[in-house]
Structure 1
Amino acid sequence: MTWKHLSLSVTGKSHSDRNERGQDYYRTGVVRFGDRDFFVGLAADGAGSTTNGGVGAEIACEKMYLLILSMIRQGEHISSVTDDDVRAWISASREAISARAGEDGQRIKDYACTLLGVVAANDHALCFQIGDGCIVTGDGTGYHTTFWPEQGEYANTTYFVSDDTFLEHLKIEHRGAAPDEIALFTDGLQSLVLSFSTRTVHDGFFRPLFAALRKNTEIGSASLTTHLTALLSRDDVNARSDDDKTLILAVNVPVS
């Protein structure tokens, strides 16, 4: 088995109206080691109240990706990764952000960002998250959240990798079997695809997308990505959420 995936990020209207760059960032890939394929998906959302949240999001994702890649290339199985290992990865990502802030003469909180990620092989999956956004998985019976988006003490706030208490808000989950379908998305999408009153997933959003990805034979799924980008850029979607919208989808498929 291997992984087919796509990823995209749409700049929110709140940024585009001010000619600003979006503050979301993602990093994805399928890494082969020996006879195993590993899917790695990472997404981060720079805090809208910061000057360099998007930079922090990029640093967090890229540093985490390198650490995960190093783990895979050392031949470690995902099941051998401990919670302390994940905490060390997150801490190293935070240190990389702090170093950049120091170089720029800024404060680390100016680079505040959330972070969520998945590392999956055929027989194990590791999920982790700080802040809002969400990881959704499908197993043939429906779609479920791995962690519910964590909100802060006040409305429209959450927790960040840059916080002093970041490890207190780090959520980690190990699974003995990888899901058939995986989605990661930042908070710009969560009000559109999650029901906060019932804490459930809108299956009708994900089911056709995963089906289309599974059937798509195009390398990189460029046409499907273009279609989804247009969908998430529509005026009626922006009217419901004007924040950046990042979406990563992955499906476990037989090797052709």
Structure 2
Amino acid sequence: MNWRVVNASDVGTSHIAAGRGCEDSSWASVDRTSAGLEVLSMFVADGAGSALRGGEGAELAVQAAASFMAGALAHAEFGINDALAVELVVAVRSHIYAAAESTGLTARDYACTFLGIISAPGGTLALQIGDGGIVLDVGKGLEVPIVPMAGEYANMTHFVTDEDAVKVLVTKAFTEPVIRAGAFSDGLQRLALNMATNTAHEPFFSPFFRVLSTAPFDQEDELQKALQRFLSSPAVNERTDDDKTLVLAVQQA
């Protein structure tokens, strides 16, 4: 299996106006288990605007996820299941809580959403805490496996740093590997999803997947720069003033 992956983030115009930087973070990689099986991992975290160090929390979350995956893949037995998702979230939380303790702050000061996709020949797992979104195709067309989470009140959501994060964690498992996949922060939700039906907006994703499906492996830098330009374009900034992150993966034939 050959996956082509690309990810990028761009600061929102409202953050620029407020003198803040981008508080999104992402990570995407294709690695191998100890048995030699390829595994795709892609994660997105979005720092809470109300948190003192939300952007740092998002970066810590994806760093912890990457470290967790490296350790999990080294095990003789690697399974993609709900237990893996729970262990991943616990690892992310532990990393953020340790950072908070070392600085004399609280975990809430590092609050961020967290979502991702893990896929291997034997199956795929989507997991999510908070808003933002996931789209994937395991052979039945592009679908939204998890409805983006809203909090109890308007403009609120759940965070991986919340005490009940493991309880509110939502997962969706598939027995097939992904053919196409995307993960994004909530700054792109209204562009990437039909919010009324919680379905993927195919015209948004199709051009990206078409390019990735034929892109040579030596064009990774060019793909990342092109995605960055798209996220910072007037066409996108006219639709959203929030930070934007997009991670994409396509399985090439």
Q: TM-score, structure 2 length as denominator?
A: 0.93
Aligned residue number for residue 61 of structure 1: 62
Mean Cα deviation higher: 238-247 or 69-78: 69-78
1:1-256 alignment runs, 5 A limit: 1-33=1-33, 34-79=35-80, 81=81, 83-139=82-138, 141-254=140-253
Residue 88 to residue 77, structure 1, CA distance change in 2 (3 Å) = closer
Secondary structure of 2:117's aligned partner? strand
TM-aligned CA deviation for residue 28 of structure 1:
1.4
Shift of residue 236 of structure 1?
A: 3.6
> d(CA) in 2 for partners of 1:200 and 1:126?
18
- Which amino acid is the alignment partner of residue 165 of structure 2? F
- For 1:22 and 1:220, how far apart are their aligned partners in 2? 25
Structure 1 residue 187 displacement after superposition: 0.5
Which sections of structure 1, spanning at least 5 residues, go unmatched?
none
What amino acid does structure 1 have at the position aligned with 2:26?
Y
CA distance in 2 between counterparts of 1:123 and 1:92 reads 24
Matched-pair contact (CA < 8 Å) for 2:108–2:161:
yes
Q: Matched residue of 2:5: which SS?
A: strand
Deviation at 1:139, TM superposition (A): 4.1
Please give the alpha-carbon distance, in whole angstroms, between the structure 2 residues aligned to 1:176 and 1:140.
11
**Aligned-pair Cα RMSD in Å:** 1.6
Q: Aligned partner of 1:42: which letter?
A: F
Query: What is the DSSP-based 3-state SS (H/G/I as helix, E as strand, rest coil) of the residue aligned with 2:18?
Result: coil
Is the CA contact (8 Å cut-off) linking 2:134 and 2:183 kept in structure 1?
Answer: yes
Letter in 2 for 1:86: A
TM-score, scaled to structure 1: 0.92
Q: SS at the partner of 1:48?
A: coil
**Partner letter of residue 56 of structure 1?**
G
- State the Cα distance separating 1:203 from its structure 2 match: 0.5
Contact 2:25 2:59 in 1 (8 A): yes
Aligned residues: 252
Distance 2:218 2:13 in 1: 30
Identity value in percent: 35
Post-superposition shift, 1:218? 4.5
Q: How far off is 1:63 after superposition?
A: 1.1
1:226 to partner: Cα distance = 2.1
Aligned partners of 1:142 and 1:203 also within 8 Å:
no
Report if aligned partners of 2:46, 2:114 keep a CA contact under 8 Å in 1.
Answer: yes
Contact 2:9–2:231 under 8 Å retained in 1: no
Deviations 1:176-213 (A, max 9, x none): 11120010111010111111112211101111210101
Unaligned runs of 5+ in 2: none
Shift of 1:92: 2.4
Q: What are the superposed Cα offsets for residues 195-243 of structure 1, whole Å, 9 maximum, x if unpaired?
A: 1112211101111210101111152532233222222212242132111
